[in-house]
Amino acid sequence: MEEEDEFLEPMSPTAQCLNTSSLSISVIAVLEFEIPIDEAKIICYAKDFIPLNSLFSSITVNDINGERKWKKVEVKVEEQIVVATPPSDLSIELNDAFFNEYITKLSVQELDQNKPLWEIHILNCPTSTAAANLILKFHHSLGDGYSVMGLLLSTMKRADNPSLPLTFPFNGKMINSKKLGQISSGVSHFLLSSINSVLDFGLSLIKSSVLEDELTPIRSGGDGVEFKPTEIWTITFSLHQIKQIKSKLRVTVNDVVAGMLFLGIRLYMEETHPDSTKSNSTALVLLNTRMFGTYKCMEDMLNPNSNTPWGNRFGFLHIDIPKLTDFNLSNPLQFVQAAQKLIKRKRDSSAVFLVDKLMEIIHKFRGSEVASKYVYKTIKNSSLSITNLIGPKEKMTLTGHPVKGMYFTVVGIPQSLKISVISYMENLRIAFGGEKEFIDQEKLTSCMKKAFDHIHKASIDVSI
């Protein structure tokens, strides 16, 4: 056993925490192709990406001290790839139904712990959005959304010119030069940040232990929500229109999207259960805590000294969802402004890093199971989670397959509603993961579109 332990690879505390008896989280990414899938090319693709990272050919085991470790195994690629074949000669509508049922079942199927923790599913049937779909399912212990996106981008090419690199929307922050001359602002900002950090850290502790969000049309609060089927669907918005709103309101794209989501959620609550519009509901917003947010190639991410390392480097922000009763619907822009203030205040806090240190302490002295239960309660006690990724501006190809669209979601978490956002070309794709037979898909979609229309129309009248 001791000799075998020498060949095991350490597993990060976060990776251990995300793969326990209390919590087992996976990421599902969908690539929509413009042409039918060449299965042989996808098999070759899988064989090519396995050597990029040793974790793709590893399983989790316990060492002699009971610590979870990665163990290298032989990968049988054919067992990692699933080809789903619907009945032939189905209509587009029936193919859509087949795809939706397939991905819903996939949301509750646990990855086999005796094999590497990833799968590729090929659905070679035309749907209303694509000629074929490729589904990649990764266990979250392998890495977060940033890591999975980095992997995909390392193996993709630009459709217009494969020799050129993919480019991404600017994600930096503008500095207000007027504030640089205010000597006292540094001191006041430090004091405010310190107060916010203490308050937010205290709130996080309470939310992760005793304080639960109220039961609403977006939070069933039942035990075992993470084991119930998740219906996954998407809405696409014009990135150009979102940027127009951003410029008019002098905010960020994230502020606009968050404001629209918050307004859409409250409209859904009002239509489903009017009393719930006054509920105390919070969203867990996931943040990438790497020093730099730009994607790197796999070699750079696996470098021990990398500023953008592979793995799980994220933190939670508890954001209160603004109440519909606090604003006048005749001015929906207030939801964007409220989202901006809430997110800015939370970003000025160090609570995310304090919670990260707390998790390290819990893991060190109590073990991964206890740390995992803490994360479980943090997620379960809130109403929903929101995560986002930046995609390339140009169309991509994977082994010669042009990618028409893509989206992702997270499954296995104890929430009735999960929201994931990704940009690609000139579109913003929002994926919803809703507890089946609890979240009304059509009504929520309608409310989100209504919220966007309200905000967009109101922004037109704003003078710059």
Residue pLDDT, tens place only, 283-299: 998 877 776 666 777 77
**113 and 217 in one domain?**
no
**Binning pLDDT at 50, 70 and 90, where does residue 192 land?**
low
Structurally, how many domains does the chain consist of? Answer: 2
Give the pLDDT confidence score for residue 463 in this predicted structure: 63
Give the pLDDT confidence score for residue 181 in this predicted structure: 37
In-domain check, residue 326: yes
Q: Is 447 left (phi over 0), alpha (psi -120 to 50) or beta?
A: alpha
Neighbour count for residue 223 (Cβ, 10 Å):
9
**Cβ(239)–Cβ(427) below 8 Å:** yes
Range from 143-157, 208-222, 413-427 carrying the lowest mean pLDDT: 143-157
**Binning pLDDT at 50, 70 and 90, where does residue 355 land?**
confident
pLDDT tens figures, 201-225 = 777 788 777 889 999 999 999 889 9
**57 and 194 in one domain?**
no
Domain end marker among 123, 158, 193: 158
Q: What whole-number percentage of the chain has pLDDT above 90?
A: 61
Residue entry with tokens 């609570």: 351
Buried b (16+ CB within 10 A) or exposed e, 104-135: eebbeeebeeeebbbbbbbbbbbbebbbbbbb
Alpha-carbon gap, residue 36 to 133, rounded angstroms? 8
Average pLDDT value for residue range 154-159: 91
**Cβ(363)–Cβ(372) below 8 Å:** no
Domain span at residue 112 reads 2-158
Mean pLDDT of the chain: 87
In-domain check, residue 164: no
Q: Looking at residue 153, which CATH number applies to its domain?
A: 3.30.559.10
**Binning pLDDT at 50, 70 and 90, where does residue 174 land?**
very low
**119 and 34 in one domain?**
yes
Residue 428, beta-bridge partner list: 237, 423
pLDDT tens figures, 43-98 = 999 999 899 889 999 999 988 888 889 999 999 999 999 999 888 888 999 999 99
Domain end marker among 158, 189, 222: 158
**421 and 366 in one domain?**
yes
**Binning pLDDT at 50, 70 and 90, where does residue 5 land?**
low
Which tokens hold the place of 122? Answer: 């090929």
pTM of the model: 0.90
**138 and 105 in one domain?**
yes
Q: Which residue has the higher pLDDT, 94 or 154?
A: 94
Give the pLDDT confidence score for residue 160 in this predicted structure: 95
In-domain check, residue 328: yes
**106 and 210 in one domain?**
no
In-domain check, residue 171: no
pLDDT tens figures, 95-116 = 999 999 999 999 999 999 999 9
pLDDT tens figures, 271-286 = 999 989 889 999 998 8
Which tokens hold the place of 104? Answer: 């819903």
**193 and 80 in one domain?**
no
In-domain check, residue 163: no
Give the pLDDT confidence score for residue 170 in this predicted structure: 60
For the chain, helix, strand, coil in percent to 5 are 45, 20, 35
In-domain check, residue 350: yes
Q: In the predicted model, is pLDDT for residue 178 greater than 60?
A: no
**456 and 308 in one domain?**
yes
In-domain check, residue 344: yes
Q: What is the dihedral of CA 91, 93, 97, 100, to 10 degrees?
A: 120
Residue entry with tokens 């993470």: 226
In-domain check, residue 166: no
Domain end marker among 158, 189, 213: 158
Q: Looking at residue 433, which CATH number applies to its domain?
A: 3.30.559.30
**88 and 47 in one domain?**
yes
**243 and 120 in one domain?**
no
Give the pLDDT confidence score for residue 336 in this predicted structure: 94
Give the pLDDT confidence score for residue 180 in this predicted structure: 33
**191 and 223 in one domain?**
yes
**308 and 388 in one domain?**
yes
